[in-house]
Amino acid sequence: MAVALKDVLKTNGGLWFGWSGDTLKGPTTGELKAMRHQGIDYATIDLNENDYKGFYAGYSNNILWPLFHFRLGLLEYDRKQAEAYRRVNRDFAKALMPLLGPDDTIWIHDYQLIPLAAELRALGARQRIGFFLHIPFPPWAVFSALPDAEVLLRDLLAYDLVGVQTRRDLAGMANSLQDGLGLELDAGGGVTSLRDGVKRRTQLSAHAIGIDTRGFATTARKAAFGTDAQRMKDSMGDRQLIVGAERLDYTKGLPHRLRGFGALLANFPEHLNRVTYLQVAARSRNEVATYRDLRRELDQLAGRINGDYAEFDWTPVRYVARAVARDTLAGFYRAADVGLVTPLRDGMNLVAKEYVAAQDPEKPGVLVLSSFAGAAESMDGALLVNPLDAEAMAEQLDRALKMPLGERKERWATMMQGLEEQTASRWAENFLAELAEQDVAEPPPAVE
C-alpha cells in the first residue's frame, strides 16, 4: 500500500500526513514535523503517551480491530478510549486544516481515522474527501455491539467516497447504514445526508487492493539465487515445503493453521518426514494482552506437533516469530510448494497475492486460502478452506501437495492474470478517479 501511495504522490504531487510514530512523554505540542524524502513531502505530528494508549493501542487496536473482524468476545470497550480516539482525530484535523488548498483532494486511510473527515468538515473543509477501509466491514448485527456504532456510521457520511475491499464488505456497510441509521442506498450505490445544513451524497464502492505484481515477481526471481533461499533449500533436501507468513495477529488464524497441519500429519501419514511447514510470524501489537496470549498458544502448538512427529533429522514445523527481510520472504514463497493463508477474517490479505506473484511459472506452487480472506473473492485458482475445519484443511493440503503440474500451472495462470490487472497502482488510480467524479457538496444558500 505504501508503495502505491508513494507512486501516486510522486506522480501527482501532494502531501503525506499522519502520526510520526513517535510518542512523547509530556503533553502533545501539536507541532508539525515537515520533511522531504525521495521526492515526497511529509507532515507528521507526535502523540503523547496517553493518546497513544487511548487512541491507538486502546480504541483502534483493542476495540475497532476486533469489532471489524467479527470478534466481539475480544472487544474491551472503554469510554475514555473512545474520547481519546475522537480527540486525536480532532487534533489531526486541526493540524491538517491549514495545510489544505481549496482544490486539494484528501484521501484518508483506515479505521484509526474514520472521524477525520467529520472533524475537517466541522472546521470548514469543503474539498473532496475519500476514505478507504483496509479491513472488513461487518453487518449491523455485529457492528451494533459498539456503543459508538451510530456515531461512527455518521462519520462516514462526511466523505464523498467510502471504499472497502470486497463486495462482502460493501454489503456489510450498506446493511449497517440501513439498519443503524435508516439510510437506503440510491440506484447508484450512494447515500445522501445532511450535515450542518450541507447536503452531501456519499458514494460507497468496493476497490480490491493489489500489489506491485511485476516488482514482486522480479524480487522473488532474484531472491531464489540469494543465500537465504539457498540455505533454506539445502536444509530441506527433497522434502516439500509449505509456507505461511504474517503479523502475529489473532485474525490470521495461526493456531487453526497449526491444527490443520497437525491433522495432515495424523490423517495422511505418507507426508511424514516428506513435508515441512515454515511459519514466519512477525511480532505485532505486543502491548495488547490478547497478542501475548496468542504467542503463548502458538509456542505450545508448534512444540506439541514437533514433539509428536519430529524425527532425528526432520522438524515438521519451523516457526520463526519475527519479521524477515522482504526479499528473503519472496525467496521462501518461491521455494514453497504450498502457500498456506488461513485468516479467520481479513480485509484482503496481501500475502496470498505475493505468494502467487512469487512463483516460478514453470513449476508454480499451490495457494491454499481461507474463504474468509477478501482475496478469496478474486483468486479463483486457490484451494479454498474454512480454517475452523482442521480435517478439511488437511484434505486441501494433501490435495495441494499431490497436485499434478498441469493443474498447478492452470490455476496459477488464472490468478496471475488477475494480479497483473489488479495492481496496487491500479487500485489507487481507480479510487482517485472515482473520487474525482463525485460532485462537491454545495453549501446551503446564504440567508438574505
Q: How far is the CB of 360 from ligand ADQ (least distance, A)?
A: 18
Identity of the residue, 330 or 394, whose beta carbon is nearer to ligand ADQ in the bound complex: 330
Told to check if 3 binds ligand ADQ by CB under 6 A, we report: no
Structural element, H or E, at residue 131: strand 128-132
Told to check if 409 binds ligand ADQ by CB under 6 A, we report: no
346 has catalytic annotation? yes
Told to check if 282 binds ligand ADQ by CB under 6 A, we report: yes
Q: Which stretch binds ligand ADQ (CB under 6 A): 9-17, 25-33, 52-60, 279-287?
A: 279-287
Asked if 390 and 256 count as a contact pair (C-beta separation under 8 A), the reply is yes
Over its C-alpha atoms, the chain yields an Rg (Å, rounded) of 23
109 has catalytic annotation? no
Q: How far is the CB of 130 from ligand ADQ (least distance, A)?
A: 15
Q: How far is the CB of 241 from ligand ADQ (least distance, A)?
A: 16
Q: Which three cell numbers stand for residue 25?
A: 512523554
- The catalytic position among 51, 69, 134, 271 is 134
- The catalytic position among 148, 160, 337, 346 is 346
Q: How far is the CB of 273 from ligand ADQ (least distance, A)?
A: 26
Identity of the residue, 15 or 324, whose beta carbon is nearer to ligand ADQ in the bound complex: 324
Which residue of 47, 243, 344, 351 would you call a contact of ligand ADQ, by CB under 6 A? 351
Asked if 375 and 352 count as a contact pair (C-beta separation under 8 A), the reply is yes
Q: Residue 361: count other Cβ atoms within 10 Å of its Cβ.
A: 11
Q: What secondary structure does DSSP assign to 137-167, as a single string?
A: ---HHHHTTSTTHHHHHHHHTT-SEEEESSH
Q: Which stretch binds ligand ADQ (CB under 6 A): 311-319, 349-357, 393-401, 438-446?
A: 349-357
Supply the DSSP symbol for 273.
T
Told to check if 280 binds ligand ADQ by CB under 6 A, we report: yes
Q: How far is the CB of 254 from ligand ADQ (least distance, A)?
A: 11
Question: For ligand ADQ, how many residues bind (rule: CB under 6 A)?
Answer: 20
| Residues facing residue 191 across a β-bridge | 202
Identity of the residue, 115 or 339, whose beta carbon is nearer to ligand ADQ in the bound complex: 339
Separation CA 343–CA 340 (nearest Å): 10
Q: Which three cell numbers stand for residue 401?
A: 501437495
Identity of the residue, 92 or 137, whose beta carbon is nearer to ligand ADQ in the bound complex: 137
Asked if 203 and 434 count as a contact pair (C-beta separation under 8 A), the reply is yes
Asked if 415 and 285 count as a contact pair (C-beta separation under 8 A), the reply is no
Separation CA 302–CA 298 (nearest Å): 6
Identity of the residue, 325 or 413, whose beta carbon is nearer to ligand ADQ in the bound complex: 325
Q: How far is the CB of 343 from ligand ADQ (least distance, A)?
A: 8
Identity of the residue, 127 or 386, whose beta carbon is nearer to ligand ADQ in the bound complex: 386
| Residues facing residue 131 across a β-bridge | 108, 162
Which residue of 128, 134, 259, 285 would you call a contact of ligand ADQ, by CB under 6 A? 134
For 138, how many CA atoms within 13 A lie in the half-sphere containing its CB?
A: 20
Asked if 332 and 318 count as a contact pair (C-beta separation under 8 A), the reply is no
Separation CA 60–CA 52 (nearest Å): 10
Range 190-219, binding ligand ADQ (CB under 6 A)? 209
Label residue 335 exposed, middle or buried (CB < 10 Å: 0-12, 13-18, 19+): buried
Told to check if 347 binds ligand ADQ by CB under 6 A, we report: yes
Asked if 400 and 383 count as a contact pair (C-beta separation under 8 A), the reply is yes
Separation CA 353–CA 3 (nearest Å): 15
Q: Which stretch binds ligand ADQ (CB under 6 A): 119-127, 298-306, 323-331, 440-448?
A: 323-331
Q: How far is the CB of 377 from ligand ADQ (least distance, A)?
A: 12
Told to check if 5 binds ligand ADQ by CB under 6 A, we report: no
Angular region, 172: left φ>0, alpha ψ -120 to 50, beta rest: alpha
Told to check if 350 binds ligand ADQ by CB under 6 A, we report: yes
Range 353-382, binding ligand ADQ (CB under 6 A)? 354
Q: Which three cell numbers stand for residue 115?
A: 472521524
Identity of the residue, 81 or 251, whose beta carbon is nearer to ligand ADQ in the bound complex: 251
Q: Which residues are catalytic?
A: 134, 346
- In the complex, the residues that contact ligand ADQ under the rule CB under 6 A are 1, 134-135, 209, 245-247, 280-282, 323-324, 329, 346-351, 354
